[in-house]
Amino acid sequence: MDQILLLAADPTAWAALATLIAMEVVLGIDNLVFISILTNKLPAHQQQKARRIGIGLALILRLALLGTVAIIVQLTAPIFEVFGHGFSWRDLILIAGGLFLVWKATKEIHHSVDPDPGSDMFESKKPQLGFSAAIGQILVLDLVFSIDSIITAVGMTDHIPIMVVAVIVAVVVMLIASDPLAQFIQKNPTVVMLALGFLLMIGMTLIAEGFGAHVPKGYIYSAMAFSGLVEGLNMLSRRAKKRR
């Protein structure tokens, strides 16, 4: 309690909190785009429930990982080397998560452009996504993004209360934005393809990070913002043509 009071009176702590909240919200965008695209494939009456469960799991995972900060920090220690490059548990998790995102985005893009939406090489048995399967896939990506989020938080501050507040605020923002974002994506088919492209780029970035090639997040989000701006202009253009 004394530590919390001291932090509350420290301007530096407030600055660190504001910076960390902004960083956590930005990192949560990737997680939220994936959840929105995946839950939009469920029946309408299950979509909101799945989104809330997915974001709730993200909060639980992040808070649980904060309780094991000492272990999380050790995840960055190399466990083996290949051609002189050391790989840590964090690297392996990022590579696995990146491969999963690339596979998922590629599958969804394939289904979007395939004139025959029937069973194919990606989905030979069950074309309809089930609720449990959706939650399972969300949980996998929640874990990847949560580990990356907490490791980022640990690198920015040593104070657990600041991390907890930042994580809670970021997840609340995700929860508030989830329904509007999902509805916007669902109502605009071209935005779906753009979001899938984002997931593909994020997946490749995670794989690159896992192999030790650091990609500045500013470049990634600048590209996403520019693409979103161009798509927004396209949407305005289409509406203007309809009015004419």
Range of the domain at 10: 2-243
pLDDT tens digit sequence for 104-152: 788 877 777 766 655 544 454 555 567 888 888 888 878 877 777 777 6
pLDDT tens digit sequence for 183-234: 887 777 777 778 778 778 878 888 888 888 887 777 777 887 888 888 888 8
**Nearest partner of 59 among 178, 236, 155, 159, judged by Cα:** 178
pTM of the model as a whole: 0.67
Cα separation, 37 vs 142, whole angstroms:
14
- 3 pLDDT band, cuts 50/70/90, is very low
Under 8 Å between Cβ of 68 and 75: no
Under 8 Å between Cβ of 61 and 146: yes
Under 8 Å between Cβ of 178 and 55: yes
Number of domains in the chain: 1
